Structure 1
Amino acid sequence: MSIVAGQPAGDLPGAVLRKAGLRQECRQVEADWFKGEWTTLDTYALLGREWPRGAARG
């Protein structure tokens, strides 16, 4: 599983994802134009075998 989180207003999404056990795989600086400004995109990932036992898998 991987998640891309935009960072227009700080690192709160990243902190939540790291606390959930995901790791940051890459950072694309000023890679996306969003609401009139360039934003940085961070990609977080978790391998299937790292998924907590008993957790739903969407």
Structure 2
Amino acid sequence: DVEGEDVRTSPELIVPGVISLSAGPELHCSEAIAVSSSKSTCIVSTILLVHRL
């Protein structure tokens, strides 16, 4: 659902942005964040699972 993901765009953009900063300054750019945001659902799910374990 593209529309479903669109609604969650704002909160999801924050997480990949933080990940980019943690990974390195070279990743901190609009394109990197945009690409990461499309994968953020998978990234967030993985992080939540790891933290719970």
TM-score for both structures, normalised by structure 2: 0.28
Tell me which of the two structures has the higher relative contact order, counting C-alpha pairs closer than 8 angstroms and 6 or more residues apart.
1
Q: If each structure's helix is expressed as a fraction of its own residues, which one has the higher value?
A: 2
Which structure has the larger Rg? 1
Q: If each structure's strand is expressed as a fraction of its own residues, which one has the higher value?
A: 1
